[in-house]
């Protein structure tokens, strides 16, 4: 986005910072400190954006049941809705202008329209929801641009088959055996692919945050990370959750689970750095959900890869490692806490 696209309204510190980024400047501008105190008396005009982890794929019922946007799988009670209710109970009112979170969204779908599953239609670029008077933009993107589902399929023969048909993406190299994915991602072509994908995510997040400042110059921006999927103690993943027959990560080799965790940790670090570099806030869900991974049994906040979710399309749809209701509530809790912190400073 060139500096010629900048709006001509009186510049605030953030607008100056955004222009500096656009021009490739290394100028550092300090925003004036706000006064801490009570929550804002007026409703805060808010836009939520994001992918399936913001939409809370797997939780029913789903919005837009009567049109193709159903295929965004945006839960009626996703974490944006739950966080809004939680804040209302504390006297903080969000005037939600829009929630445009949609399953399958890449970071680039913040500024490009997104084609829905099966070519059923398209949804507009998520930035279209931002207004001049938007005061708060909250959500998370990055996992699909990284290609995390492709990483999962590289490591799982089951997900390469019919059981993963509704999980977007292809294995990185289908000619490489799933059982050897640890070696694949730690060297050679697999490592080179990951390195490239992380660079892509980093650049796209920088573009997204810059565009937020252009479309909503006075909005506080909150980038939300992903909850942790794999625990530090991966031996817990060798036991099925209560009431389940499949392991949380099905046939993914045990030696590959730390690799999956490291990939997610690196994505989290990239997102955190992108937010810090552009003066946005970050919700570090990875750091806050280590006891609620897919392998934490009754305490799991993540549904197992092939554990049935609440959705059905003629047959039950798996969670594919998305937050269940417990995980959604954890997302809402930490996002609400960060929003309150941002609005009160």
Of 52, 56, 101, 156, catalytic? 52
CB atoms within 10 A of CB 272: 17
Sign of the Cα torsion 59, 64, 66, 71 reads negative
As beta bridge partners, residue 140 has 50
**Residue 52 bears catalytic tag:** yes
Of 144, 150, 268, 292, catalytic? 144
How many angstroms separate the CA atoms of 142 and 214, rounded? 20
- Tokens 């805060």: give the residue: 44
**Residue 164 bears catalytic tag:** no
Q: What is the CA radius of gyration of the chain?
A: 20
Q: Are 335 and 83 in contact (CB under 8 A)?
A: yes
How many angstroms separate the CA atoms of 172 and 151, rounded? 7
Closest CA to 181 of 223, 153, 142, 143: 153
Of 109, 215, 322, 334, catalytic? 322
How many angstroms separate the CA atoms of 232 and 210, rounded? 35
How many angstroms separate the CA atoms of 130 and 75, rounded? 21
How many angstroms separate the CA atoms of 325 and 315, rounded? 20
As beta bridge partners, residue 214 has none
**Residue 238 bears catalytic tag:** no
Burial (Cβ within 10 Å: 0-12, 13-18, ≥19) of residue 24: exposed
* DSSP string for residues in 263-330: HHHHHHHHHHHHHHHTT-EEE-HHHH-TTSSTTSGGG-SB--TTSEEEEESSSEEE-SS-B-HHHHHH
Q: Kindly state the tokens that stand for 150.
A: 């492709």
Closest CA to 299 of 321, 319, 316, 324: 324
Q: Which residues are catalytic?
A: 52, 104, 144, 322
């Amino acid at each position: 986005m060139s500096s010629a696209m900048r709006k001509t309204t009186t510049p605030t510190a953030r607008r100056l910072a955004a222009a500096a980024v656009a021009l490739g400047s290394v100028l550092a501008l300090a925003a004036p400190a706000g006064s801490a105190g009570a929550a804002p008396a007026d409703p805060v005009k808010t836009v939520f954006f994001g992918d399936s982890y913001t939409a809370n794929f797997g939780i029913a019922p789903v919005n837009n049941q009567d049109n193709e946007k159903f295929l965004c799988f945006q839960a009626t009670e996703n974490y944006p809705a739950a966080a809004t209710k939680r804040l209302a109970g504390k006297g903080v009112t969000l005037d939600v202008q829009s929630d445009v979170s949609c399953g399958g969204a890449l970071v680039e779908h913040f500024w490009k329209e997104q084609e829905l599953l099966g070519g059923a239609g398209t949804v507009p670029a998520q930035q279209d929801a931002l207004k001049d008077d938007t005061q708060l933009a909250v959500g998370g993107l990055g996992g699909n641009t990284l290609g995390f589902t492709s990483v999962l399929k590289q490591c799982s023969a089951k997900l390469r088959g019919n059981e993963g048909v509704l999980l977007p993406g292809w294995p990185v190299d289908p000619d490489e055996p799933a059982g050897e994915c640890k070696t694949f991602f730690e060297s050679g072509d697999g490592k080179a692919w990951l390195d490239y994908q992380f660079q892509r995510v980093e650049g796209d997040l920088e573009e997204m945050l810059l565009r937020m400042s252009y479309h909503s110059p006075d909005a506080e921006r909150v980038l939300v990370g992903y909850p942790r999927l794999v625990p530090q103690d991966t031996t817990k993943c060798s036991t099925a959750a209560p009431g389940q027959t499949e392991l949380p990560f099905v046939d993914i080799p045990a030696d590959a689970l730390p690799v999956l965790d490291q990939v997610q940790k690196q994505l989290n670090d990239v997102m955190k750095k992108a937010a810090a570099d552009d003066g946005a806030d970050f919700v570090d869900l990875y750091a806050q959900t280590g006891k609620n991974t897919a392998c934490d049994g009754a305490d799991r906040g993540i549904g197992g890869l092939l554990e049935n979710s609440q959705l059905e399309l003629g047959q039950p749809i798996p969670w594919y490692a998305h937050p269940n209701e417990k995980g959604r509530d954890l997302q809402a809790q930490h996002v609400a806490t960060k929003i309150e912190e941002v609005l009160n400073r």
